[in-house]
Amino acid sequence: METPQLASPPVPLLLGQAADFGRVRALFEKAQFDEKTISRALGIADMVELGKVRIEEADLAAALGSPMLAVLVRAFLLNRFVPRDVVERTINDAALGSLLALDLVRPDQDAYYAPALLYPVAGFVIASDRHENPDGSPLAPSPDAVFPAIFAGTLRFVRLIPRSSAESALDLCTGSGIGALVLSRHVERVVAADITARSAHFARFNALLNDRRNVEVAQGDLYDAVAGRTFDYIVAHPPYVPALDEPRIFRDGGETGESVLRRIIQELPRHLRPGGVLYCVSAAWDSAEGPLEARMRRWLGECNREFDVIFAEQKELPREQIASWLADKARRTDPAASAQWEQRFKEAGLESNVYGAIVLRRADAPGAGDGRTPVTLRPKLSPRTDGACFAWAFRWHRWRAEHEATGRLAQALLDSRPRLGSQLRARVIYAPQNGSLAVSEIMLQSDLPFRSATGIEPWMLQLVGQFGQGRTAREVYDAARAAEEFPDGFGADDFATLVAMMIERGYLEVEDSTLL
Ligand SMILES: C[S@@+](CC[C@H](N)C(=O)[O-])C[C@H]1O[C@@H](n2cnc3c(N)ncnc32)[C@H](O)[C@@H]1O
């Protein structure tokens, strides 16, 4: 049996006076209601881990080192009742008056409770829907529940968001508005758009609470909310779980899970400016039609050659696994449900479900593109990969293609001064050989710009160690040649190719000015 469709609870939080928002901000600042203080005190890495801590409410003040912070954590993060006398003793009348005026707390007999979940994340304080009642009993999410910004996928999305300046940006599927708020630090005008009135209301509230005056909130189905407008950046963390019925708007992406993502990409050419970039975290499919990257090119239509496409994959799951996960999730543990899902995916030609970061950059010159072959890549996403890594990859591939086209690539690489990559690790494995231990495998690894691992020959390890002393690649080459470190027939062009591979995979780094 499917869970019955739930009615939405009344929308909490009031878009009140600026003075009340100001007083609440001051209260949070005074209490140090911030990620660093709270995670350090509770011994967690980030707010996502909050669900893992089991701390007695009575011990909170001692753990947090402040009764005021304990009241805020108890009411807003743990979402529990807090006795009236404790609140009134700890929070001054004016601040409490503002919390009440904005409907951030409500009185209930001899206690107060918060009608929303409220937490510090990415340097903001964000409200979203609660998932427990104030007495700790579970609260099933309504179809239009506002998605928590303290979810691992959202933090991945936040890491991806560009930190460079631009005139305008759009956060599609904004939920709490977190993407738009992060963008608003660097972008002049940001639109936060969502299909539900509930999310639009929370996004408005969060923009006011964080005093982000350059954030405009719009409600509508994807780009309908911003018809006729174009943007330098478009970011999205859409719903992507396959669902047949009773959709949860924040989670479900149609029969294959791809329906929202597909429309984001299909309509992108009408809304992304030349030189603009789409950043998106989603799951989708590799299918009989081709890998996700090739399918996205088809979705883009005729102008797909104007777009460079990078899909940085975090994980890949076979369709059988997705089918059985969906069957379990619906609590239909009978094997037939799983087989039905599998059959559905099979009929649609879907082979494996892939999850990661999708980044599409539009060429500076619209129309025919800029005459070069567009980039299409699938690296591996690492926990350190951020928006700047994609920007670097686009620059690097453009520089490389331009120099290749004019036959100047080897020369330019030999003239560059690479240094060791900040995340370079060399892993050497020894194994028994002829009665003693000998090197059997050497791997170079890096987490920047993407996750990479490359097996190399022992002589190459020596060579890698020669970089990082400010020498040009040519000087490293000449010294190694003089020391007879190369195998026979390994020339300067081969060395340049090796340097290119090591730069691309993050084992070596070059100054940004090299890639101009
Ligand atoms: C996974 S949540 C992400 C929320 C937020 N961006 C985040 O990362 O925390 C997906 C959001 O997409 C919204 N949504 C679903 N379908 C949509 C559509 N067709 N147009 C606009 N928003 C949509 C949902 O209401 C929900 O807020």
| 171 CA: nearest ligand 1 atom | 6
Whether ligand 1 lies within 6 angstroms of the CB of 281 is answered as no
| 240 CA: nearest ligand 1 atom | 1
Which residue puts its alpha carbon closest to atom 9 of ligand 1? 149
Whether ligand 1 lies within 6 angstroms of the CB of 199 is answered as yes
Whether ligand 1 lies within 6 angstroms of the CB of 515 is answered as no
What's the pLDDT at 464?
A: 93
Whether ligand 1 lies within 6 angstroms of the CB of 173 is answered as yes
Which residue puts its alpha carbon closest to atom 6 of ligand 1? 174
Q: Measure Cα distances from 299 to 7, 241, 307, 316 in Å.
A: 35, 19, 12, 21
What's the pLDDT at 2?
A: 41
Distance (angstroms) between ligand 1 centre and the Cα of 284 equals 16
Q: Which of 227, 296, 222, 308 is nearest to 266 (CA)?
A: 296
Whether ligand 1 lies within 6 angstroms of the CB of 191 is answered as no
For residue range 403-425, list pLDDT tens digits in order.
Answer: 999 999 999 999 999 999 999 99
Contact 291, 377 (CB under 8 A): no
What's the pLDDT at 469?
A: 85
What's the pLDDT at 246?
A: 67
Distance (angstroms) between ligand 1 centre and the Cα of 229 equals 20
Domain 409-515 grouped into CATH 3.30.390: yes
Whether ligand 1 lies within 6 angstroms of the CB of 57 is answered as no
Whether ligand 1 lies within 6 angstroms of the CB of 198 is answered as no
Contact 325, 342 (CB under 8 A): no
Whether ligand 1 lies within 6 angstroms of the CB of 183 is answered as no
> How do the domains of the chain map onto residue ranges?
18-128, 409-515
To test the pocket of ligand 1, the residue of 249, 259, 355 to mutate (highest count of ligand atoms within 8 Å of its CB) is 249
What's the pLDDT at 367?
A: 65
Alpha-carbon dihedral angle through residues 202, 208, 209, 212, given to the nearest 10 degrees: 110
Say which DSSP state 464 is in. H
For residue range 94-109, list pLDDT tens digits in order.
Answer: 999 999 999 999 999 9
> Other C-beta atoms within 10 Å of 252: how many?
20
| pLDDT < 70: residue spans in the chain | 1-6, 246, 332-334, 366-371
Distance (angstroms) between ligand 1 centre and the Cα of 54 equals 30
For residue range 192-248, list pLDDT tens digits in order.
Answer: 999 999 999 999 999 999 999 999 999 999 999 999 999 999 999 999 999 987 679
What's the pLDDT at 333?
A: 62
Contact 112, 74 (CB under 8 A): no
Distance (angstroms) between ligand 1 centre and the Cα of 202 equals 12
Q: Which of 194, 172, 274 is nearest to 232 (CA)?
A: 274
> Rounded to an integer, what distance in angstroms lies between the CA atom of residue 428 and that of residue 181?
44
Whether ligand 1 lies within 6 angstroms of the CB of 174 is answered as yes
Alpha helical stretches, state H, 92-189: 93-101, 152-160, 178-183
> Rounded to an integer, what distance in angstroms lies between the CA atom of residue 239 and that of residue 146?
12
Whether ligand 1 lies within 6 angstroms of the CB of 239 is answered as yes
Whether ligand 1 lies within 6 angstroms of the CB of 147 is answered as yes
To test the pocket of ligand 1, the residue of 119, 172, 194 to mutate (highest count of ligand atoms within 8 Å of its CB) is 194
Residue 491: CA count within 13 A, CB half-sphere:
4
Whether ligand 1 lies within 6 angstroms of the CB of 283 is answered as no
Phi, psi for 282 (deg, rounded to 5) = -160, 170
What's the pLDDT at 222?
A: 98
Contact 159, 165 (CB under 8 A): no
478 in helix, strand or coil?
Answer: helix
Distance (angstroms) between ligand 1 centre and the Cα of 217 equals 13
> Rounded to an integer, what distance in angstroms lies between the CA atom of residue 266 and that of residue 298?
9
Whether ligand 1 lies within 6 angstroms of the CB of 194 is answered as yes
Contact 389, 449 (CB under 8 A): yes
What's the pLDDT at 368?
A: 53
Which residue puts its alpha carbon closest to atom 19 of ligand 1? 221
